[in-house]
Amino acid sequence: MFASRTFFGTPRPPTQHGFTAIELMVAVAIVAVLAALAAPSFTPLIERWRVRSAAETLTSSLYYSRSEAIKRGGNVIIEKNPNSGNCTSASTNAEWGCGWKVFFDVNNNGIQDACNMGTTLNECDLQVIHTPTNVEIGLAASTGKISVDRWGMMSHTGSGTLTATAMAFDLMPKGKTLTDNSSVRLCVSTSGRLVRVQGTATCP
């Protein structure tokens, strides 16, 4: 065995590693104070990211629906998900913050019939988008459904045979309005062109 090292004849105390309980508590308290001070400045950034993510998801769904309608000869419907997330039984058709789904309306009756995976042409969900996190989405004059015809044109009705209509989706942080800096408006022209503008801006 090796003898313990000494300093002027006195055994050197063992080297200590790590933190004491008091040092750890002080460090945690400092981190908590800094986090509390920084949290308010991160809120607008988080809200802006959530709205942007929801807008990009909605844009993707609209493009996807147009592609499916052109491929299938029309009769594709985008329908808001009822009674889920930000939507309740008292919600109006103009509220789309509960998410939405896309399906092929085989018999063109404007509603989604029972899904039958055993048939080639069925009305099963083509795409389902769940509730965006803390984001409100509004579509004025909406019937709760958007139909897409064989040319990729969209309208508020459940039938893809009617004249296309311009639409403006308003996206804002939950509890905020379009005047908030994080809010945006997704414009859909009668030709199907999609443009994103600031919340209070007029669609081109």
Domain contains 181: no
Q: Using pLDDT thresholds of 50, 70 and 90, give the confidence band for residue 81.
A: confident
| pLDDT of the residue at 6 | 52
Q: Give the predicted TM-score (pTM) of the model.
A: 0.77
Query: What mean pLDDT do residues 153-179 have?
Result: 84
Domain of residue 136 covers: 20-162
| pLDDT of the residue at 61 | 97
Q: Using pLDDT thresholds of 50, 70 and 90, give the confidence band for residue 143.
A: confident
Domain contains 192: no
Dig out the tokens for 106 from the structure: 């085989």
| pLDDT of the residue at 19 | 65
Query: What mean pLDDT do residues 87-106 have?
Result: 82
Please check the confidence at residue 8 and state whether its pLDDT lies above 60. Answer: no
**Strands of 194-198's sheet, edge to edge?**
135-139, 167-173, 184-188, 194-198
Domain contains 4: no
Query: What's the CA gap between 113 and 8, in Å, rounded?
Result: 92
Q: Using pLDDT thresholds of 50, 70 and 90, give the confidence band for residue 164.
A: confident
Percentages of the chain per state (helix, strand, coil), in multiples of 5: 25, 25, 50
Domain contains 130: yes
Q: Which residues of 121-140 are buried (b: 16+ CB within 10 A; e: fewer)?
A: eebeebeebebbebbbbbbe
Phi first, then psi, for residue 123 (nearest 5°) are -110, 30
Domain contains 191: no
Domain contains 199: no
Query: What mean pLDDT do residues 169-176 have?
Result: 94
Contact 146, 110 (CB under 8 A): no
Element (H, E) at 154: strand 154-155
Domain contains 203: no
Element (H, E) at 152: none
Query: What's the CA gap between 105 and 99, in Å, rounded?
Result: 19
Query: What mean pLDDT do residues 3-23 have?
Result: 61
Query: What's the CA gap between 187 and 22, in Å, rounded?
Result: 57
* Number of folded domains that form the chain: 1
- Residue of higher predicted confidence among 130 and 93: 130
Domain contains 145: yes
- The string of pLDDT tens digits covering residues 33-77 is 766 665 566 788 899 999 999 999 999 999 999 999 999 999 999
